[in-house]
Homo-oligomer: A and B are copies of this chain.
């Protein structure tokens, strides 16, 4: 039995845009582990029933199924699982490093991702299949409290994003990776956030030069160009 990762896809199953799934794909590569991805769409909640016993919701990806049958959900739980089972090449690091990662995670989720969402929302909607579009519109409009069209505002999003990027840009002006000399969990978390627009729109939404651009390019080339080889909307 091989290692399987359920990975969100667009109408085109080759388009894998989920930042949470990207975190895990990069973490698996970091550990040098082989895996196959299983394309999964928003509407296919039933297919994840095996991973969410007791009817737990929401059923979302990433879901990792190990060769021994172990199933782990949630990107950060998967990081912790990988560090426990494959302790070489730590992702999270010790207790202090791991606690600081929590901060970087919430920076990416609370400051960066909402800015990107404002920019790419309608592009993202456009690459989903009709059934997923219906689900996506309903669930996101309930969460946002407005229509997708009203929320999407690329100009506002770009201003928010430029601000939110400051600590990343300044850190990468001082050290090659967020995690120091080599990438680890903080880099995968941050980089995955930009793989989302990069796959869904062809544009990572980072400056065309400077430390952010250099870091993104180096991250694309990690693991023999693993992320660079990802199909994307051009």
Contacts and interface: CB of A to CB of B under 8 A. Distances in A.
Interface of A: 90, 93-104, 106-107, 109-111, 163-164, 166-168, 170-171, 174-175, 177-181, 184, 186
A100 B163 contact: no
A170 B106 contact: yes
B96 A166 contact: no
8 nearest interchain CB pairs? A99-B180, A100-B100, A106-B167, A97-B97, A110-B166, A106-B170, A93-B96, A107-B167
Given A103-B171, A106-B170, A111-B166, 17 more contacts: A93-B94, A94-B97, A96-B180, A97-B100, A99-B175, A99-B177, A102-B171, A102-B175, A103-B104, A103-B178, A104-B104, A104-B167, A106-B166, A107-B107, A110-B167, A110-B170, A111-B167
Q: How many copies does the complex hold?
A: 2
Contact of A101 (B100, B107, B170): B100
Contacts of A175: 99, 102
